[in-house]
Amino acid sequence: MIQPLSGIQNTAAALDAERTRLDVISENIANANTTHGIDGKPYQRKVVVFQSALQQAMGGDNANATPTLRVARIENDKRPPVQVYEPGNPDADARGMVSMPNINIHEEMADLISASRAFEANLAVVKNEKSMAMQTLAIGKH
Partner 1 sequence: MIEALFNEPAYLAAKKTLDAVAVRQEAIASNIANLETPGYKRVDLAPSFRAELDHACASGDPQQLAALKPTLATDTTAVANSQDGNTVSLENEMMQLNQNVMTHTLETQMVSSLLFRLKMAITGKSS
Partner 2 sequence: MSSYGMMPNTDMVRPAATPGVDAPMPLDQPKEVTPGQGAGESFGNVLGKFVSDVNTKQNVAMEAVDGLQSGQGVPLHQAVIAMEEANVSFQLMVEVRNKLLDSYQELMRMQV
Binding site for partner 1 (CB under 8 A): 6-8, 10-11, 13-14, 17-18, 50, 52, 57, 63-64, 66-69, 117-118, 121-122, 124-125, 128-129, 131-132, 135-136, 138-142
Contact 25, 77 (CB under 8 A): no
Question: Exactly one of 40, 60, 88, 90 binds partner 2 (CB under 8 A); which one?
Answer: 60
Provide the β-strand partners of residue 100. 82
User: From the CB of residue 45, how many other CB atoms can be counted at a distance below 10 Å?
Assistant: 22
Of 18, 73, 15, the closest CA to residue 48 belongs to 73
Residue 117 Cβ vs partner 1, minimum distance, rounded to whole Å: 7
| Rounded distance between C-alpha atoms, residue 85 and residue 80, angstroms | 16
Q: Does 142 bind partner 2 (CB under 8 A)?
A: no
User: From the CB of residue 92, how many other CB atoms can be counted at a distance below 10 Å?
Assistant: 16
Among residue numbers 67 through 126, which ones bind partner 2 (CB under 8 A)? none
2 binds, among partner 2, partner 1, none (CB under 5 to 8 A by kind): partner 2
Query: In angstroms, how far is the first alpha carbon of the chain from the final one?
Result: 29
Nearer to partner 2, 39 or 136 (CB): 136
For partner 2, the binding residues (CB under 8 A) are 1-6, 57-61, 133, 136-137, 139-140
